[in-house]
Amino acid sequence: MRNALRQQILVTGGAGFLGSHLCERLLAQGHEVLCLDNFFTGSRDNILHLLDHPRFELIRHDITFPIYLEVSQIYNLACPASPIHYQFDPVQTTKTSVHGAINMLGLAKRVRARIFQASTSEVYGDPTCHPQPESYWGNVNPIGPRACYDEGKRCAETLFFDYHRQHGLEVKVARIFNTYGPRMHPNDGRVVSNFIVQALRGEPITLYGDGRQTRSFCYVDDLIDGFLRLMASPAAFCGPVNLGNPGEFTIRELAEKVLEMTGSKSPLVHRDLPHDDPRQRRPDIALAREQLHWNPTIALEDGLRPTIAYFETLLRGTPHPER
């Protein structure tokens, strides 16, 4: 007999960094999980430990094509997330955000499922307002190399709110700020994975620009807790809501922390700042605190410890217990 509280939940991008953690948490809550992924940046390794689970199912599919499934909730995470990956095939990135959103919203509309969108702090572009509240409309270059991602995600937000207004769909839009943790891709060029891998290999730490630009880093467990709270919030609350850790660090400070924690002797080297690289970023999370009673609790050092341990195991070539 089916448990009345058990939901059938689709997680697109479920074999990725965030998606795999989300699948794990949903299974632990007793739900049935359909993990959908085309393995563009995700990997079977991330979900290997879930494949034999009786409530877990893997579907290899690209969300830019329609798909017909019966589910009660959808988390739409499918999209390459790091600048290297999303700029590799920018047209496909926009298609994934826009056509993918249309297909997932069409599916949600047909089965009357509640649907969550993994949006991003990139919708704020290079912000002229600091920290960034949800009411800030952003400063995005629509024709630059980051636009495929930023504008794709902005258009996806538009679609979510139009399906809500036009079709009465229950939507939940999270604007995710930089998140890190085990199962980050070692070659995706993001700053946390780059610095840890470089430090562990004794290679130079690549500081882009002067390293004075800032980011706020959220540990993955805190973020997933925010996802679950947002999905469970009253139907009237659609967001968008910022999810991120307001602790703000310069990129140089992050490099120094990683060096200290790994005991590495890697030198710091400077490289050119990428085009349109935002100078500062910190979430204003007053709305998440008020509506979701969510507050990230894991300090940078406490989150870096398991992340460094994960990359140590990965670089040694032995499977990590978490995988």
Mark the segment that binds ligand NAD (CB under 6 A) among 36-44, 108-116, 232-240, 294-302. Answer: 36-44
Structure tokens at 135: 């009411």
Tokens of 187: 């070659």
Residue 114 contacts which entry, ligand NAD, ligand UDP, none (Cβ below 5-8 A, type-dependent): none
DSSP string, 110-165: HHT-EEEEEEEGGGGBS-SSSSBPTT---B--TTSTTHHHHHHHHHHHHHHHHHHH
Min dist CB 60 to ligand UDP, Å, is: 16
- 181/202 Cα distance (integer angstroms): 21
Q: In the complex, what is the shortest distance from the CB of residue 54 to ligand NAD, in angstroms, rounded to a whole number? A: 23
Cβ 2 to ligand NAD shortest distance, Å: 27
Write down the least CB distance from residue 54 to ligand UDP, Å. 25
Two tokens at 233? 């919030």
Q: Tell the smallest beta-carbon distance from residue 65 to ligand UDP (Å).
A: 8
- Determine the interface stretch with ligand NAD among 2-10, 31-39, 162-170, 270-278 (rule: CB under 6 A): 31-39
Q: Does 10 bind ligand NAD (CB under 6 A)?
A: no
The dihedral region occupied by 19, where left means phi > 0, alpha psi between -120 and 50, and beta the remainder, is alpha
If the CB atoms of residues 83 and 127 are measured against ligand UDP, the closer one turns out to be 83
Are residues 261 and 299 in contact, defined by beta-carbon separation less than 8 angstroms? Answer: no
Q: Which residues bind ligand UDP (CB under 6 A)?
A: 66-68, 82-83, 102-103, 106-107, 109-110, 178, 189-191, 194, 206-208, 213, 215, 251, 273-274, 277
- Out of 7, 9, 19, 98, point to the residue binding ligand NAD (CB under 6 A): 19
Burial of 89 (0-12, 13-18, 19+ CB in 10 A): middle
Binding window for ligand NAD (CB under 6 A); candidates: 67-75, 78-86, 197-205, 305-313: 78-86
By CB atoms closer than 10 A (0-12, 13-18, 19+), residue 202 is exposed
d(CA 149, CA 37): 18
Q: Is 46 helix (H, G, I), strand (E, B) or coil?
A: helix
- Which residue ranges make up the site for ligand NAD (CB under 6 A)? 12-13, 15-19, 37-42, 62-64, 77-81, 96, 100, 118, 120, 176, 178-179, 185
